[in-house]
Amino acid sequence: MPDTPVESTTLLTLQDVEVSFTLKRSSLFAKPSLLRAVDGVTLSVRKGQTMGIVGESGSGKTTLALAVARLLPVTRGQIHMNGVDLLSLRGEALRNERRHMQFIFQDPYSSLNPRLRAEKIVREPLDRLSIASTSRRDDRVRELFDQVGLRRDQQRLFPHQFSGGQRQRIGIARAIASNPSLVICDEPVSALDVGVQAQILNLLRRLQEELGLTYVFISHDLGVIQHMCDTIAVMYMGKILEEADRESLFNTPKHPYTQALLSAVPSADINRRNRERRIMISGDPPNPIHLPPGCRFASRCPQVEDRCRVDTPPLVNIDRHHRVACHLVKAAG
Ligand SMILES: Nc1ncnc2c1ncn2[C@@H]1O[C@H](COP(=O)(O)OP(=O)(O)O)[C@@H](O)[C@H]1O
Ligand code: SF4
Ligand SMILES: [Mg+2]
């Protein structure tokens, strides 16, 4: 059978996306400073798959996710979903496209309105997007409670009457209510106890299979990323430093930053654990408002060379599904 062209299976593409924040002036005469939280990100996400985005706090993961959902303005670049140019959409057209893309937030405590009953929270996207008739919406809410493992008699309770894990189930029911194609999960289990994390991750995987969902899955936790993601992009100071399928990234990481991150996670395989030594990341990340030229990781890289402080390494393909931005790693061909 011939290879399916990548284009036909791609749901979301980002081309050179930049999101900058203009920060308040420190004094009347100072120039306003610019913080480039996302700096030239190019990515594509395949249908039915999970694209992981991993990186330390402040690397730009949430900003990127909010920009894709059009909840923050993009300052440069292009975003297409199913071939639709998302950044050109306004008004009704944007509203229509929004139903195909939903968000699950990190904190199920603050992302649910405490004054609304659970059924109203789950129903809200159906009302807002005028999906189905009023009576059909009641049926849909019942169905959604079943799907995420909540009992129907819990529909009339308020958020504070649920545990953390149950609250995240409400957040998930709300996210899938409009039958989206894409669900962006921003640290969906980081606020939960470890035992509950596994239940929620398994629920997300089951729903992905049942509903054919595509996920963008953000986490700072490599264990969670390995459990959930098909492809992984490693972000640092607004840039992607490495992107690969799960096997390549975890077995043959190429970027010094990815290697250091992975070396900090104890491997389940004892031989591997004995073989690998922990790479310490020392030094501080650069100030995001005054970024020096060259590689973003240079101030902390154990393999830094002179050229790294001058030239920014481009993100190049070293394999069909493996991209790396480091002067020490050779491009394919
Ligand atoms: N609304 C904002 N205004 C100014 N700076 C922001 C804003 N939101 C995020 N930032 C900055 O952008 C950078 C990336 O933040 P964020 O996307 O939240 O990272 P992450 O989700 O990876 O922790 C950080 O330096 C953060 O301080
Ligand atoms: S380009 Fe240089 S500083 Fe950057 S990761 Fe590679 S070796 Fe380290
Ligand atoms: Mg975040």
The tens place of each residue's pLDDT in the chain, 333 residues long, gives 444 444 559 999 999 999 999 988 777 777 788 999 999 999 999 999 999 999 999 999 999 999 999 999 999 999 999 999 999 999 999 988 888 999 999 887 888 999 999 999 999 999 988 888 888 999 999 999 999 999 999 999 999 999 999 999 999 999 999 999 999 999 999 999 999 999 999 999 999 999 999 999 999 999 999 999 999 999 999 999 999 999 999 999 999 999 999 988 766 555 555 556 677 778 888 888 988 899 999 999 999 999 999 999 999 999 988 999 999 998 887
User: Does the beta carbon of 45 sit less than 6 angstroms from any atom of ligand 2?
Assistant: no
CA distance 144 to 20: 37
Q: What is the pTM of this model?
A: 0.93
Of 35, 59, 75, the one to substitute when testing ligand 1's pocket (max ligand atoms within 8 A of C-beta) is 35
Please give the C-alpha separations between residue 37 and each of 58, 74, 83, 172, 281, in angstroms, as whole numbers.
8, 11, 26, 27, 22
Which DSSP helix (H) or strand (E) runs through 67?
helix 61-68
Q: In what order do the strands lie in the sheet with 101-104?
A: 101-104, 182-186, 214-219, 50-54, 231-236, 239-245, 322-324, 316-319
Please tell me the predicted confidence (pLDDT) of residue 30: 79
Count of CB atoms situated within 10 Å of the CB of 81: 21
Q: What is the chain's Cα-based Rg? A: 21
Distance in Å, CA 140 to ligand 2 centroid: 52
Distance in Å, CA 306 to ligand 1 centroid: 29
> Which amino acid makes up residue 291?
L
**Which three-class secondary structure state does DSSP give residue 278?**
coil
CA distance 121 to 157: 11
Rounded to 5°, the CA angle 301-306-308 comes to 55
CATH 3.40.50.300-classified regions of the chain: 7-100+180-324
Ligand nearest to the CA of 34: 1
CA distance 20 to 302: 29
Distance in Å, CA 309 to ligand 3 centroid: 28
User: Does the beta carbon of 36 sit less than 6 angstroms from any atom of ligand 1?
Assistant: no
* CA pseudo-torsion sign 284, 285, 290, 293: positive
Distance in Å, CA 271 to ligand 3 centroid: 34
Rounded to 5°, the CA angle 306-292-305 comes to 15
CA distance 47 to 213: 8
User: Does the beta carbon of 61 sit less than 6 angstroms from any atom of ligand 1?
Assistant: yes
CA distance 218 to 215: 9
Spell out the alpha helix ranges (H) of 108-163.
118-128, 134-147
Count of CB atoms situated within 10 Å of the CB of 272: 11
Please give the C-alpha separations between residue 228 and each of 33, 85, 102, 130, 267, in angstroms, as whole numbers.
37, 28, 18, 32, 17
Please tell me the predicted confidence (pLDDT) of residue 221: 93
Measuring from atom 20 of ligand 1, which residue has the nearest CA? 58
Q: Do the beta carbons of residue 254 and residue 322 sit within 8 Å?
A: yes
Distance in Å, CA 239 to ligand 2 centroid: 13
**Topology given in CATH for the domain delimited by 7-100+180-324:** Rossmann fold (3.40.50)
Ligand nearest to the CA of 283: 2
* CA pseudo-torsion sign 142, 148, 153, 159: negative
CA distance 38 to 70: 14
Please tell me the predicted confidence (pLDDT) of residue 1: 41
Say how far residue 215 (Cα) sits from the centre of its chain.
8
CA distance 230 to 26: 44
CA distance 161 to 122: 16
